[in-house]
Amino acid sequence: MGDLELDTPIQYVKGVGPRRAEQLETLGVKTLEDLMMYFPRRFDLRREVQPICTLNDGDDNATIAGEIIDARQRHARRPIFEIQLRDESASITAKWFHGGYLAQSLRPGLVVALNGKISSYNNVLQMVNPKHQIIYDPSGAKLDQDELLPVYPAGGKLTSNIIASVIQKALPQATQLLSEWFDKAYLAKRGLMTRDKAIFAMHRPEDREQWAHARRRLAYEECLLMQLGIAITRQKEISRPAHSLLSNATVDQRIRARFPFTLTDAQDRTVAEITADLARNRPMNRLLQGDVGSGKTVVALYAALLTVANKKQVAIMAPTGILATQHYRKILAYLENSNVKTELLTGGMPVKKRNRVLAELENGDIHIIVGTHALLSKTVKFKDLALVVVDEQHKFGVEQRTGIRGKGFAPHYLVMTATPIPRTLALTVFGDLDVSTIDASPPGRGKTTTKCVSAKDIPATIKFVEKKLATGQQAYFIYPLVTPSPQLELTAAQEAYHELKDGPLGKYGVGLVHGQMPSDAKNSAMRDFSDGKTKILVASVVVEVGVDVPAANVMVITHAERFGLAQLHQLRGRVGRSTENANCILIASPGNPLALKRMEILTKTCDGFKIAEEDLRIRGPGEFFGTKQHGLPELKVADLIEDFELLRLARRDAFDIIDEDPDLAMPHNQQLRRAMLKLYADRLGLIAGA
Ligand code: ADP
Ligand code: MG
């Protein structure tokens, strides 16, 4: 028992038996080291500790602290556990009915704080059933009147108090086992506290300033480990050989001639970055982000045509069949009368056609294939795939990302996202990618005005829409998934569809798309709308991503309060894609302040990056992208928003370390390697032979 190690199972730590060990394990605490890394959520300043002699009968929130000088079980009518607590001024009795379970933890000699109500019994003051907090063992540090009381995340039967007492007991010995990861100069340069000191102070800080320092060190550590994981993943990805795809002035001009406009400066810059990437014999690994309608698809097509000019194949993937079909049609339009052969592959295709496409992919007749993630299936074989473009990455997730690459070739890889990635997430969830940003839209775009109205304004809204339709514009009517039931989603959109059809707007032609429709019906409804056969499209959220109908400049979103910020921004991006000004009308009854905040942000700005940062702030990183789905463990100490600068520092350091020592094989990196593998090995399958 005396010789604890960091990997000693928690059960053998003082104050923990098999039962508590089990409970601690549900909190992720399996070893002494885990216990040391189980940090308080916050600290409460020990409210003014009163001298016992100043207590009065009836004080109902008194806090006292002192040494237990006696503890006993008594059996009156009910079993009572009773202690005698003494401070410098006096002593008092505290009792707990049915408190036998406390006999273990509240022993004579310990110093504890008690908080609760003061009453009197036979004219003697007492505390009944107070909250207690062990401040220290006789072996521990001195009692400090300003001591911060740690509040640990509790779970099940384990209260913060129990966890605190176990940790405080183990702390002095355990911190001696902790060793430093970095040398003195490294720490000094970054202003970091040593590891043992930091971990000690996380549990028992002298004051808040010391705690903040400790927290900074551990947040750095956490960020560094994460960035090491990312740096190694990236290293592995880009160290595979890839086809070098070269360009020259002729090729460049030929490609540009395909577009009926000149590229914007932002597009030019991005094209240059991608062209440089493709020329290397290492796979490109790039995220292309730009607000909806900023012209990403055009940039992706440029990359595709450059690949085809090098006699290689391209796969372009979209998250839904509608989007894939739309990309396909757009690409066909750009490529009219060219020799580039483009095909579509989706889930619902007739078998015969599918087989033909598969055969032509394998023999190299098809240059560009557009599809859904069906393209990832094992039956799809390419002759010479050199570029994979994934549109709207956030619908896929990391597994699929590695899925594409695990196929034995190393294609260049371009991800497009119209959900602007807040800078924090660009360095974490997408941290293994280089980032290109299209930060300006093509010129001459109209302005989108957003208004938020309530349900009673619906008649006025319909009148407004009718005026716009009369001028030749088209309109979306969007309905949310009212409940998680697909059936009800259908009802909401469908009812609205019939109402609109039979109402004054019916003469403009009304179409309907929703998630439960067969893809044929969906596609034909989309086509009718984009060809202008129907002027109104009633839709559930399926139009959220990427749909491009420039003549549609009015959008009415019903129950807007039920949508998330990013989703509303995406939806709104469907309008304002031409030179006309656009209108977005949010019909909302924001019942809660957060929904109200979302509406406010949307009416104020159309800047996707601002909206994304706000969204991240409101929802937190975990929910924003579903961190778990992306293979990154949750951070316990670091706050990716507040600690952004620290994250950046850690990233630079991690990439430097991996540059110098790609497998973390050097002796001075062994601690880092061990800690990193502990967190990341099963998630990312890192480091060969580890
Ligand atoms: P995104 O994929 O970013 O949503 P797209 O590439 O689909 O954007 O472009 C949106 C619209 O803008 C399309 O209709 C496209 O034809 C047009 N567009 C793209 N680039 C330019 C440009 N440089 N000048 C004018 N129009 C452009
Ligand atoms: Mg697009």
pLDDT tens-digit map of 98-118? 888 888 888 888 888 888 899
For residue 592, the enclosing domain spans 448-624
Quick one: tokens of 427?
């360095």
- Let me know whether 359 and 413 are in one domain: yes
Structure confidence at residue 689 (pLDDT): 36
Say whether 29 sits in a helix, a strand or coil.
coil
Q: Which of residues 624, 646, 677 is at a domain's end? A: 624
How remote is the CA of residue 318 from the centroid of ligand 2, in Å? Answer: 10
The answer to whether position 141 is within a domain reads yes
Listed residue (99, 102, 112) closest to 66, CA to CA: 112
| 289 Cβ below 6 A of ligand 1 | no
The answer to whether position 33 is within a domain reads no
- Let me know whether 473 and 518 are in one domain: yes
CA quadruple 180, 181, 186, 190: dihedral positive or negative? negative
Domain total of the chain: 4
The answer to whether position 430 is within a domain reads yes
- Let me know whether 393 and 478 are in one domain: no
| 440 Cβ below 6 A of ligand 1 | no
Structure confidence at residue 627 (pLDDT): 45
pLDDT > 90 in the chain, percent: 46
CA quadruple 143, 149, 152, 156: dihedral positive or negative? positive
Query: Phi and psi at residue 386, in whole multiples of 5°?
Result: -125, -10
In the chain (690 residues long), the average pLDDT of successive 10-residue segments reads: 80 90 92 93 71 90 88 86 91 92 86 89 91 66 56 86 90 91 95 96 86 94 91 82 94 96 96 97 90 87 98 92 88 94 89 94 96 84 92 54 56 85 78 86 86 91 94 91 59 83 93 83 88 92 67 92 84 86 90 84 87 78 51 75 90 94 92 85 48
- Rounded to whole angstroms, how far apart are CA atoms 537 and 501? 11
The answer to whether position 329 is within a domain reads yes
The answer to whether position 347 is within a domain reads yes
What stretches of 182-295 show up as alpha helix (H) in DSSP? Answer: 184-190, 195-203, 208-238, 249-256, 265-279
| 573 Cβ below 6 A of ligand 1 | no
- Let me know whether 280 and 198 are in one domain: no
* CATH number of domain containing 299: 3.40.50.300
Listed residue (552, 601, 606) closest to 294, CA to CA: 606
Q: Which of residues 609, 624, 639 is at a domain's end? A: 624
Give the chain's end-to-end CA distance (angstroms, integer). 31
- Let me know whether 462 and 416 are in one domain: no
How remote is the CA of residue 465 from the centroid of ligand 2, in Å? Answer: 26
The answer to whether position 688 is within a domain reads no
Beta-carbon contacts of residue 253 (< 8 Å; ≥ 6 apart): none
User: From atom 5 of ligand 1, which residue's Cα is the shortest distance away?
Assistant: 295
| 6 Cβ below 6 A of ligand 1 | no
How remote is the CA of residue 326 from the centroid of ligand 2, in Å? Answer: 9
- Let me know whether 378 and 480 are in one domain: no
Structure confidence at residue 232 (pLDDT): 87
Q: Which of residues 597, 624, 651 is at a domain's end? A: 624
User: From atom 11 of ligand 1, which residue's Cα is the shortest distance away?
Assistant: 293
- Let me know whether 588 and 522 are in one domain: yes
- Let me know whether 415 and 512 are in one domain: no
* CATH number of domain containing 81: 2.40.50.140
| 292 Cβ below 6 A of ligand 1 | yes
- Let me know whether 335 and 391 are in one domain: yes
| 577 Cβ below 6 A of ligand 1 | yes
The answer to whether position 9 is within a domain reads no
- Let me know whether 405 and 454 are in one domain: no
- Let me know whether 397 and 486 are in one domain: no
The answer to whether position 656 is within a domain reads no
- pTM tops 0.95, yes or no: no
- Let me know whether 298 and 326 are in one domain: yes
